[in-house]
Amino acid sequence: MELIKDTEVRSAYQLLKDSVNHTPLQYDRYLSEKYQATVLLKREDLQKVRSFKLRGAYYAIKKLPEADLKKGVVCASAGNHAQGVAYTCHELKTRAAIFMPTTTPQQKVSQVRFFGGEFADIHLVGDTFDASAAAAKKYCEENGMTFIDPFNDKNIIAGQGTLALEMMTDAESEGYKPDFVITAIGGGGLISGVASYVKNTSPTTKVIGVEPKGAASMQAAFEEEQPVKLTEIDKFVDGAAVQRVGEITYSHSREYVDELMSVDEGLICSTILDLYGKQAIVVEPAGAMSVAALDLMKDQIKGKTVICVISGGNNDINRMAEIEERSLIYEGLKHYFVVNFPQRPGALKEFVSEVLGEGDDITRFEYTKKSNRGTGPVVIGVLLKKPETLPDLLKRLKEFDSTYIELSQHKTLYNLLV
């Protein structure tokens, strides 16, 4: 397979430069001081559709023959690619049938409707991207339209690579020589485009691809030496929850990517909150992955120059409670237990005074089963003041109820009760 190189990316840039934003490459003082490195952020969250996906979608559609463009296009997307296709079709006045998983955040569905206007028809089908894509391809065949793949397409890859052309050009003009470029991986379109340009223009710069721990489909492909379908994925990082990467993106990643790493969804949540709280940067889970990876690379990047691609900022505000919850659990501050409570007055007060530590708090208290017996099971959430006090809490908890259950150790029970 012939791979995309910097020449194809330059050609794509010439077509796109008047249609997409040249997003800024910003020095980040907070992250630079935190990791004792020079950290630069490529702000694709400031793109027209708040995501890099516009680049590939616009280029792939614009490259279609006029006859195919008149028939319209079809796409499947967890949200951002759909927005890019919708925006493009509105600009070019061509029809788009857009298939999205039923799990897509409402904010992204609403944005697709806004960007596409009268030119976009939305179909919510399937629980995963892969199920939605299968329905989209069937619809495409039945209606004689062109399928715009979200990642496994050379024009998509070349379009996404234009952000790398911008950031490497801007870095050079500002006197930076990047040691690392870190970017997210979902289906692999972004990493393929970025890595193709970077490795062909700056071979010594290391390209790091980051996946969510619960959907590491590129890592699985590397291990099996071919794309494979994951049997189960965590859909939380909706922009990167892909069960199987593409053949084309796998080939590009194999050739150009220096290292893959996976980050815990909880760390991603902590990064989202940190970026918002410290710098007022709003990112979606997939958009935070490159910055989250810094925490795993802190020894490796000390004294180095690092570019993190902020791939998107389409975060649904309704998800913030879940994001905070996952962050607290990851940081070791929030814990859930099933505890047998004596069914008598004063039992909860006794628990608070004898089991909880100073500054600890109860965030949930719910009987799972009412009975006439002397005790009843309670789901209790505890928020610690400091994570290191957990061993002492568990010791006191065992004295209160020797049969307590720590729900983090029982995934099925946790999903059922919490």
Q: Which residues pair with 51 in a beta bridge?
A: 312
The per-residue pLDDT for 235 is 87
Q: In what order do the strands lie in the sheet with 146-147?
A: 120-124, 96-100, 73-76, 146-147
Q: Tell me the pTM.
A: 0.91
DSSP one-letter code for 175: T
Note if 63 is an active site residue: no
The per-residue pLDDT for 343 is 81
Q: Which of 154, 311, 327, 334 is catalytic?
A: 311
Give the integer Cα–Cα distance in Å for 357 and 361. Answer: 8
Which run of H or E residues covers position 96?
strand 96-100
Give the integer Cα–Cα distance in Å for 11 and 15. Answer: 7
Give the architecture (CATH level 2) of 72-143.
Answer: 3-Layer(aba) Sandwich (3.40)
Domain locations along the chain: 4-50+152-321, 72-143, 331-415
CATH code: domain 4-50+152-321 is 3.40.50.1100
DSSP H helices in 50-176: 53-62, 66-71, 80-92, 106-116, 129-143, 154-173
CA distances to 31, 193, 208 from 306, rounded to whole Å, are: 10, 18, 10
Burial environment of residue 142 by CB neighbours within 10 A (0 to 12, 13 to 18, 19 or more): exposed
> Sign of the CA dihedral 220, 285, 275, 360?
negative
The per-residue pLDDT for 375 is 83
The per-residue pLDDT for 86 is 97
Helix 6-16 / helix 53-62 crossing angle, nearest 10 deg? 90
Give the architecture (CATH level 2) of 331-415.
Answer: 2-Layer Sandwich (3.30)
Q: Which residues pair with 382 in a beta bridge?
A: 335, 362
Using only the alpha carbons of the chain, give its radius of gyration. Answer: 24
Q: Which of 42, 53, 199, 334 is catalytic?
A: 53
Q: Which residues pair with 336 in a beta bridge?
A: 381
Are 335 and 399 in contact by the 8 Å Cβ rule? The answer is: no
Note if 196 is an active site residue: no
Q: What six digits make up the tokens of 73?
A: 């296009």
- Are domains 4-50+152-321 and 72-143 of this chain identical in fold? yes
- Segments of the chain scoring below 50 in pLDDT: none
